[in-house]
Amino acid sequence: MDSIQPNRPIPPTKNTKADASAPSAQSVAKFNEACSAPQIGGAFPTINERQQADDVLINNPNTQEAYWVSNGAAPDAARAAALGASISPPNILDDKIEATEKFINNYQDMRDANTIGADKYFHCKANCEAAQVSDIGSSVAKTISDTREWVDQNIKGDPETASQQDQQANYYGREQGSDNLSKLCTDICQPFRPNGLDSKY
C-alpha cells in the first residue's frame, strides 16, 4: 500500500483551451517593438502638420495614415498604433470636433436670424471659422460643405446654380480663413453679408 503523504500539493491541471483574454504573441511582439522604437517616417499620407522641431511622425497601419505627435506623446501613440487602435491622435480629434461645432453653431444662427439671403454669409463664416482651427478643420469644412451640396442637389432637388453659388462662398471662407488666422470671419465674409442681418451675427 502506498504511504499517505499529508499536505501533498495538488498538481495543476493542464488547460487545453487557449485563454481568450490573453494577448496573442503577435500583439505582444508589436507592443514591445512600439515601446522600444516608435516608427518614424512617411509610409502613409500625413494628415497633420509638424508643430515642434522634436515632434515624431507616427505610422498607423490600421488607419493607413501618418501623423505628427509631440515627442512626449510619441511612445503612447506608437503603442496605440501597434496594438491596432484606429483612432486619430487627441489633438486631431479635438480639431475635428471643434470644426464640426463651428458648422452647428452657424447653422443655428442662420435659422435664428431668419434673414433672406443670409445663407451664403453663414456658409462662408462656418467654413472660415473651421479653417482657422487648423488644416484638419479646413478638411472637415470641405467634407461637410460638399456633402451638404450633394444632398441639396440630389435629394432636395436644388438647382446646380444655387449649389455653385454656395460652394463659392464655402471656398472663399476656407481660403481666406486659412490665410488670415487672426482676422474675424465676420469681416472676412462681409462680401456675402446681406442687408438687414442683425449686427450680432
| pTM tops 0.75, yes or no | no
Residue 5: its pLDDT value, please? 46
- Pick from 129, 131, 120: nearest CA to 163: 120
Average pLDDT for 52-72 = 79
Q: Which three cell numbers stand for residue 153?
A: 442637389
Rounded Cα gap, residues 49 and 44, in angstroms? 14
Give residue-wise pLDDT tens across range 86-123: 445 557 788 888 999 999 999 999 999 999 999 999 99
Is there a contact between 153 and 67 (Cβ–Cβ < 8 Å)?
no
Residue with cell 465676420: 186
CA 128 and chain centroid, separation = 17
